[in-house]
Amino acid sequence: MNSLRRTRSTATRTAGRGRPRARASSLLIIAAVLALVASACSSNTKTGSPTTTTTAANGNSGSSTTVGGGAPSPGVTSTSVTVGQVDDLTAPLPGLFKGAEDGTQAYFDYINSTGGVNGRMIHLDAQDSAYSDGTVANATAAQIKSDFALVGGFSLDDAAETPLVKAAGMPDIAYPLDPNLSNLPTAYSPAPNTANDYPLAIFNILKEKFPAQIKHMGILWANATASTASSEKAFERAATHEGFKIVYDAGFTPSQTTFLPNVLAMKSKGVQLFFTTQMPDSYSDTLAEEMQQQNFAPVVVQGDAYSANLIKNGGSAVNKMYLELGYVLYLGADGNQPAVKLFTKWMKEADPNANFELQSLYGWASAQLFVQALKDAGSTPTRAGLEAALDKITSFSASGILTNGNPAGNVPGDCVLLAQVQGTQIVRVAPTPSNSFVCTGGNLPAPGFKPEVRPTPSS
């Protein structure tokens, strides 16, 4: 739901209490990831290794098929469709967003096992960003020439893709961290950008549960990129609109290893409700530990901390923490849902050591959105036909794994799942239903925001 609801890859936890594992995520991410952790990026090239192909494009020659009278479609042959993807794989941390590749590949493996789409197998041309704007730009430029579409990529440098995708009118089906990329007319996200329209459901829930505490709210947000900043502004605008009073507001950086100054400041200002949507598990458990050490116990609501490591590393400090999510509890509590079972099965097929992180879920969902459109693009697909099909997808939830959003209109879902850490488990809590989301309040559009009109594709 939140544009920083993307998160991170696990690295070794630094020795010593209260020091987070080194890692960044799409906010920082989320994230962020999703944390967030870490996000989309500056125009300055960062040092890194050269581009690496992590998944072979396919054995095909890259020839294309021509649709009656139309222009050739790169990446399409009579037996295959090849799509491109760029991920942060070797830097800034090893394997940072490998989950995005795993999730995308997993869904394509599933579809290929059923015979593909209209007799064509789908191949993933996954490239390493090397955490370098130049590498991202070069890889994207090559994929625009050779591949049918961009699907499922996750990179802190995806801003480097934006001008190339815009100039080429390239279909891009992914969860972009760069808000300018997400707003392009040929970009379609399985979980649209909340910087444009922020869901109000969580604020309505918290007003009912904690009517006094909402007047004493403290927030921390990832001071990392334009994406995290724009999402935070949307969050604050929505909170204020719903009657919340923010008494403490501060940013944090991906390199921050302690939140003790923030904890002491919030305690002195009388914060009774702490709420952030941009802090991954490795940061969240550190913050919780430092709150516990200072006997500071506000209601804590986190938007990006859901992971298999939160309880393991946070222990008693994260007990009773609330989690606001735009997706089901795919790591355990909702594991029996059919869509979650399918995701889990094929993730393990794609990579026996796969990291079940949020980027994995977004990769899977992006691939599903692409396949849905590809099926409707005709027996001899073109980019124009793909975009026309995507423009008709105004309701999408990846079979119920995500809250329902509108990819064609770039409008996020207006539903939420409220969960809580209870001992050694993360469970749904009231008013969340047992198998769906809470949907109340709609979205609060950003002032003056108007989605770009999608032009009629020419090829």
Cα(19)–Cα(23) distance, rounded to whole angstroms?
12
Give the SS3 label for residue 312: helix
Whether 4 shows a pLDDT value over 60: the answer reads no
Alpha helices in 269-336 (DSSP H): 281-293, 310-314
| Structural domain includes residue 387 | no
Cα(155)–Cα(89) distance, rounded to whole angstroms?
9
Domain count, the chain: 1
Neighbours of 189 (CB within 10 A): 24
Tell me the whole-structure pTM to 2 decimals.
Answer: 0.81
Whether 453 shows a pLDDT value over 60: the answer reads no
92: cis peptide before it, omega within 30°? yes
Neighbours of 280 (CB within 10 A): 43
Alpha helices in 114-225 (DSSP H): 133-146, 162-168, 179-182, 201-209
| Structural domain includes residue 271 | yes
Tell me the pLDDT tens digit for each residue of 376-420: 999 999 999 999 999 999 999 999 999 999 999 998 888 999 999
Tell me the pLDDT tens digit for each residue of 176-206: 988 889 889 999 999 987 666 788 999 999 9
Q: What is the dihedral of CA 226, 227, 231, 233, to 10 degrees?
A: 0
Structural domain containing residue 206 = 197-328+412-445
In the chain, pLDDT over 70 holds for what percent of residues?
A: 80
Tell me the pLDDT tens digit for each residue of 20-41: 333 333 344 333 333 333 332 3
| Structural domain includes residue 233 | yes
| Structural domain includes residue 436 | yes
| Structural domain includes residue 169 | no
Tell me the pLDDT tens digit for each residue of 108-140: 999 999 999 999 999 999 999 999 999 999 999
Q: Which helix (H) or strand (E) holds 322?
A: strand 322-325
| Structural domain includes residue 104 | no
CATH of the domain at 286: 3.40.50.2300
Higher confidence at residue 107 or residue 59?
Answer: 107
- DSSP conformational letter for 33: B
What does the H/E/C string look like for 228-279?
HHHHHHHHHHHHHHCCCCEEEEEEECCCCCCCHHHHHHHHHCCCCEEEEEEE
| Structural domain includes residue 246 | yes
| Structural domain includes residue 206 | yes
Angle at CA 358, nearest 5°, toward 154 and 406? 75
Which pLDDT score is estimated for 451?
A: 53
pLDDT band at 164 (very low <50, low <70, confident <90, very high): very high
